[in-house]
Each structure stands twice: as structure tokens, then as C-alpha cells.
């Protein structure tokens, strides 16, 4: 009996010792885990596609110049006039414009590589009624679906095949009709069914990529990209070179399996891997809702189909559901630093009232699952105050305001030389950041910046000084900064390349 008791006691001691060791290891790991301010990098173009960064991903798409959201203008060769949605929509289609602007520009919705809907300026769709082309449908149906037939030797010379089996033609400038049944091999300028296509703008986001490949090919393309673009060894490189966190853009469809068409499920597994790798190398993860339902800014990276910004009050419940899903899944992960509720909402399309209501609801969704993760609110782009979100922070704990600083995109920056760009960082950017970085307010975060600028023929030392100035100023942000991006086809946008080539030193 005593021998059995002694054996049991030894077992209990052994179990307690093992439990103590595990507890100490966990405590030590938590103690060593990174805290703000973070030196981080965006894993851009990984879980939300951006074709300007990874153009090779789009190479296998047939008719890849006619993806969703492509803005096109169509000119009658016989009349030498542009097609126009009269009044911007809600009326007939005419062919009487000598020059093209908004009403003469159409956005494509791609059905397959040859079949499309045409969205006009007021967001209606072109259709046919009694053989006449009109632009009145709020949603496209069978009568709003057309085939673009391209000439074999000149693909910008087209015909438009209507659902009635006949082609569009412009016999006069006052109307466009779908009743040409003549010779389909006659591509001469005087044929009223022949048009000249001008592609004004294109989009290369996740919607364009997955819908371009279609349901048969897109899953394999995306799975291969997710499993090869960012791997575990990238986290080793980042941690060894002074980075303490990653900001990972995700799309709203990440919570769905199967994903809503045309998106592909599987990015969630890649995000799971990122948490595992970050924790392995003692790094933190900032999950960033980069693409919100309805598109919060109309840009490629927002998951938009055609470039229109449509996020608003009606989308708040669906968007909060995505945040709730992410917070529930990762709220207890050691690697979670923060959840960013939305990337770059655009003013005035996204109103401050709608955004504030969403931010409050999103914050509460995160707090249901974690009291230790930060919640990040992204400043609006466009005509919005740098400090407009500060009043919202009252009474909310562990809150962060995200600002994005690029010496690009405005015509103003094209006029600056090297010294002027550096002075702009040291003065205007520093002052702007100081306004957001308040003693008793939320933390500040420069969530996107880059070593690229508009200066032509700048030398290596110029880039080094420019990057150093940004590191110095953005290092004052109380939550830290995140470079855009870790990888990119353009060297100065790639922090990996910048580190490997001694343009940036973080150690």
C-alpha cells in the first residue's frame, strides 16, 4: 500500500513539474513576445491580389485586356462618332459624340472571355428593347448580355453581338440598333456594324483575377500563388533583419467556404500558416480587412468588380460579420497584435457617420473575443481631416489610428527633387503624424509607406537618405509603421530587396 502511494506521489510530482515547465515556457514566450511600437511590413499582393505588383499572375487569362471593370470607349468607324449613353444612362444609346468623356465610357462586367455586360455612367446597364440599344436596366439580365467579336488582325476593331443574334450598328447618330445581319467578314470602315475600341483603364484585383480565369482554372492558380508567394522562410528573413510584425491584407470573402463567386476559398489556410510562422519567429500579426464588401474605395485592392465605391450603411452588418469571424478565429492566438477594421475608406463616398458607426460595431466585435489585441481604425483618404477619428477613440481601449504616407499620386510630388522630398518628410509628414500622436489618445500607426518616389534618375544614396528620413519620422508613431510591401516586381517597393541591397537597415 505504501509502495503504491509512493509511486502515485512520484507520478503527481512528475506531472506537476511538467505542468510548471510548460507554464513557465508559455509565460516566458508571452514575456518575450513583441509589443508596440512595431517595425512591420505589409504582405501585399498575397491574400488580396494586386496585378501591378504581380502581373505574371494574370498572364494565362484569355482576353486579359478585357477584365471586369475595364473602361472602354466605342467609336463607330462609319460615322467617326463615339457611342454615348444619353444623359449618362436611363435613356437610349446614341452615336453622335466627337469626343469621349464620362457618358461615352462603359465599364465591363465579364461573363466569360467573349461575353460581357456594359455598365454606363449612372450605373445602369446597356440592353436592347425592340431592337434598339438602351441603358436603363439596374441589373443585367439576358437582354443586357453581349458578345464582343474582335477582328483577328486588329483586336481593337470589334463588333457587338446582341442577344437576338444580330449585331449593333450605327446607321445614324441618333440611335444604335441591334439589327445588322450582313456580312460578318466585312471589317471595312464604312460598315455600320464595325466599331473601334479604346481601352481607357483596367483593373487588376482579386475579382478580375479569379473571374478572368473562371471556376475551372482559378482555384489552382490561387492555391499555387498562396503556397509559394509567402513561405515560412520569409518570416525567418524578416525576423533576422529587425522586423517585429507583419500587416496582412485580407478580403471579405476569406470567411466563406465555398467563397462567393468568382472568389476562391483557401486564403484562410494561408493566414493560419502566417500566424504559425509569426509565432515561430516571435513576430506579431496585424490582420487588415483590405477589401470590404461593396468596395470602400473603388481601387483594385478593394475587391471591386468595376471600380465603383459602393460600401455604405447597408454593408455594415456584413462587414462586421467578417471582423467577428476573424476575431473569433485568432483572438486567442499569441501572434495577434491587432485587427484593422478597414483599409483606406475613401471620402466623401464613405461618410464619416457610416464609418464611425461601423468602427464602433467592429470594435465591439473584436472585444467579444479578446481584451488584449489592438483595434486599428484607418483614416479616410481624400477630402478628410487628418484627426477626424480622434473623437471616436474616447472610452475605447487599445485603439490605433492608421495613416498612410506616400510621396506619390499627387501632381505636387512630381515637382519635388531629392532634398525637397526629404524636407517634406521631416516637416509636413512629421507635423501630420504629431497631430495624430496624442499623449492620452489612441496610438498612431503609419500603416503604409514606401521607399519609392517620383524623383527621376535618383542614385542609391538618394534612396538611402530618403528611406532613412522616413524611418526616423515614422519611428515616432506610437504603434509603429509598416512598409509597403515585402515583395513587389518594382525593387524600391519591395522591403526584401531594399534590405538585401542595403538601401534600408533596421538592425
pTM (predicted TM-score): 0.92
Residue whose grid cell is 441591334: 178
Contact by Cβ (8 Å): 89, 125: no
Residue 22 and residue 180 in contact, taking contact as beta carbons nearer than 8 Å: no
What is the pLDDT averaged over residues 204-231? 98
More confident residue, 8 or 356: 356
Q: Examine the pLDDT at 16 and tell me if it is beyond 80.
A: no
Q: 10 vs 214, which has greater pLDDT?
A: 214
- pLDDT digits over 86-131, tens only? 999 999 999 999 999 999 999 999 999 999 999 999 999 999 999 9
Helix axis angle for 206-213 and 218-229, nearest 10°, is 130
Distances in whole angstroms, Cα of residue 214 to Cα of each of 32, 140, 204: 46, 19, 15
- Of the pLDDT bands very low, low, confident and very high (cuts 50, 70, 90), residue 456 is very high
Q: Is 303 left (phi over 0), alpha (psi -120 to 50) or beta?
A: left
Stretch 454-461: mean pLDDT = 96
Helix/strand/coil for 118: strand
The mean of the pLDDT values for the chain is 94
Structure-block grid coordinates of residue 180: 445588322
Percent of the residues in the chain that have a pLDDT greater than 70, as a whole number: 93
Is 70-201 assigned to CATH 2.60.40.1840? no
**Annotated catalytic residue, options 50, 448, 452, 496:** 448
Ranges of beta strands (E only) in 343-426 are: 346-347, 374-378, 381-382, 399-404
Residue 96: is it exposed, middle or buried by C-beta count within 10 angstroms (0-12/13-18/19+)? middle
- For the chain, domain boundaries: 35-56+205-500, 70-201
Distance CA 100, CA 121 (A): 12
With contact defined as beta carbons under 8 Å apart, do 29 and 281 qualify?
Answer: no
104 is annotated as an active-site residue: no
Examine the residue annotation and report whether 419 is marked as an active-site residue of this protein: no
As a whole number of angstroms, the distance between CA 344 and CA 291 comes to 9
Sign of CA dihedral 84, 87, 90, 96: negative
Report helix, strand and coil shares of the chain as percent, to nearest 5.
35, 25, 40
Phi, then psi, of 16 in degrees rounded to 5? -65, -40
Q: Do 70-201 and 35-56+205-500 fall under one CATH topology?
A: no
**Distance from the Cα of residue 418 to its chain's centroid:** 30
The C-alpha angle 98, 100, 105, rounded to 5 degrees, equals 140
Distances (CA, A) of 177 to 122, 127, 363: 21, 11, 53
Which is it for strands 245-251 and 195-201: parallel, antiparallel or unpaired? unpaired
Beta strands in 281-437 (DSSP E): 284-291, 336-340, 346-347, 374-378, 381-382, 399-404
Residue 22 has pLDDT above 60, yes or no: no
Residue 311 is placed in which grid cell? 460600401
Are 296 and 311 spatial neighbours (Cβ–Cβ below 8 Å)?
Answer: yes
pLDDT for res 33: 58
Q: In the predicted model, what is the mean pLDDT of residues 341-358?
A: 98
Q: Which CATH number describes the domain made up of 35-56+205-500?
A: 3.20.20.80
The mean pLDDT value for 433-456 works out to 96
Q: What is the dihedral of CA 229, 232, 234, 236, to 10 degrees?
A: 180
**pLDDT greater than 50 at residue 439:** yes
| DSSP E strand boundaries for 57-201 | 71-76, 81-85, 91-97, 106-110, 115-119, 125-129, 132-137, 146-150, 157-161, 167-172, 175-180, 195-201
- The least confident of 10-14, 291-295, 336-340, 426-430 is 10-14
Query: Is the four-CA dihedral 467, 473, 474, 480 of positive or negative sign?
Result: positive
Mean per-residue pLDDT, 315-320? 98
pLDDT surpassing 60 at residue 290: yes
Q: Mind listing the pLDDT tens digit for each residue in 159-196? A: 999 999 999 999 999 999 999 999 999 999 999 999 99
- Cα first-last separation, the chain: 62
- Burial (Cβ within 10 Å: 0-12, 13-18, ≥19) of residue 442: buried
Residue whose C-alpha is closest to residue 392's, from 373, 371, 375, 370: 375
pLDDT score of 242: 97
pLDDT number for residue 377? 98
Q: Which of 15-24, 82-91, 272-281 has the lowest mean pLDDT?
A: 15-24
How many angstroms separate the Cα of 190 from the Cα of each of 78, 100, 187, 194? 4, 21, 8, 8
Which of 17-26, 297-306, 439-448, 486-495 has the lowest average pLDDT?
17-26
Rounded CA separation 502/507 (Å): 12
Contacts of 403 (CB under 8 A, 6+ apart): 379, 386, 432, 433, 436, 444, 445, 446, 447
More confident residue, 65 or 23: 65
Cell of residue 68, nine digits: 471586369
Main-chain phi, psi angles of 490, to 5 degrees: -95, 120
pLDDT per position as a tens digit, 31-88 = 345 799 999 999 999 999 999 999 999 999 999 999 999 999 999 999 999 999 999 9
Burial class (CB in 10 A: 0-12, 13-18, 19+), 404: middle
Amino acid at each position: 500500500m505504501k509502495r503504491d502511494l509512493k509511486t502515485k506521489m512520484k507520478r503527481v510530482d512528475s506531472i506537476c513539474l511538467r505542468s510548471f515547465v510548460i507554464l513557465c515556457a508559455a509565460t516566458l514566450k508571452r514575456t518575450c513576445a513583441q509589443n508596440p511600437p512595431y517595425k512591420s511590413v505589409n504582405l501585399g499582393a498575397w491574400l488580396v491580389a494586386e496585378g501591378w505588383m504581380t502581373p505574371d499572375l494574370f498572364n494565362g487569362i484569355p482576353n486579359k485586356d478585357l477584365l471586369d471593370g475595364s473602361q472602354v470607349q466605342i467609336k463607330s468607324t462609319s460615322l467617326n462618332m463615339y457611342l454615348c449613353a444619353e444623359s449618362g444612362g436611363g435613356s437610349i444609346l446614341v452615336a453622335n459624340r466627337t469626343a469621349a468623356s464620362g457618358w461615352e465610357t462603359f465599364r465591363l462586367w465579364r461573363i466569360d472571355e467573349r461575353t460581357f455586360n456594359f455598365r454606363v455612367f449612372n450605373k445602369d446597364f446597356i440592353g436592347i428593347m425592340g431592337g434598339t440599344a438602351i441603358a436603363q436596366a439596374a441589373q443585367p439580365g439576358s437582354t443586357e448580355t453581349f458578345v464582343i467579336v474582335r477582328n483577328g488582325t486588329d483586336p481593337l476593331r470589334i463588333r457587338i453581338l446582341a442577344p437576338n443574334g444580330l449585331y449593333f450598328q450605327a446607321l445614324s447618330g441618333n440611335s444604335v440598333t441591334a439589327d445588322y445581319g450582313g456580312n460578318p467578314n466585312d471589317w471595312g470602315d464604312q460598315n455600320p456594324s464595325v466599331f473601334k475600341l479604346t481601352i481607357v483603364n483596367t483593373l487588376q484585383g482579386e475579382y478580375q483575377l479569379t473571374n478572368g480565369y473562371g471556376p475551372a482554372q482559378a482555384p489552382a492558380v490561387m492555391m499555387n500563388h498562396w503556397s509559394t508567394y509567402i513561405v515560412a522562410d520569409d518570416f525567418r528573413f524578416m525576423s533576422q533583419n529587425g522586423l517585429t510584425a507583419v500587416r496582412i491584407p485580407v478580403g471579405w470573402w476569406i470567411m466563406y467556404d465555398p467563397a462567393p463567386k468568382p472568389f476562391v476559398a483557401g486564403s484562410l489556410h494561408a493566414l493560419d500558416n502566417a500566424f504559425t510562422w509569426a509565432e515561430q519567429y516571435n513576430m506579431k500579426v496585424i490582420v487588415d480587412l483590405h477589401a470590404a464588401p461593396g468596395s470602400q474605395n473603388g481601387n483594385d485592392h478593394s475587391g471591386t468588380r468595376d471600380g465603383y465605391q459602393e460600401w455604405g450603411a447597408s454593408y455594415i452588418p456584413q462587414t462586421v460579420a467578417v471582423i467577428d469571424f476573424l476575431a473569433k478565429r485568432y483572438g486567442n492566438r499569441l501572434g495577434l497584435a491587432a485587427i484593422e477594421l478597414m483599409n483606406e475608406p475613401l471620402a466623401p463616398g464613405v461618410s464619416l457617420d457610416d464609418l464611425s458607426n461601423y468602427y464602433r460595431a467592429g470594435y465591439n466585435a473584436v472585444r467579444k473575443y479578446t481584451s488584449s489585441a489592438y483595434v486599428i481604425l484607418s483614416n479616410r483618404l481624400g477630402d478628410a481631416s487628418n484627426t477626424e477619428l480622434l473623437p471616436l477613440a474616447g472610452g475605447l481601449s487599445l485603439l490605433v489610428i492608421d495613416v498612410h504616407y506616400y510621396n506619390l499620386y499627387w501632381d505636387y510630388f512630381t515637382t519635388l527633387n531629392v532634398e525637397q522630398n526629404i524636407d517634406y518628410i521631416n516637416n509636413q509628414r512629421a507635423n501630420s503624424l504629431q497631430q495624430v500622436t496624442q499623449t492620452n489618445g489612441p496610438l498612431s500607426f503609419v500603416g503604409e509607406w514606401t521607399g519609392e518616389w517620383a524623383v527621376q534618375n535618383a542614385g542609391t544614396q538618394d534612396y538611402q537618405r530618403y528611406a532613412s528620413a522616413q524611418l526616423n519620422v515614422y519611428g515616432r508613431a506610437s504603434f509603429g509603421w509598416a512598409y509597403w510591401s515585402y515583395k513587389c516586381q518594382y525593387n524600391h517597393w519591395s522591403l526584401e530587396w531594399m534590405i538585401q541591397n542595403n538601401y534600408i537597415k533596421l538592425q
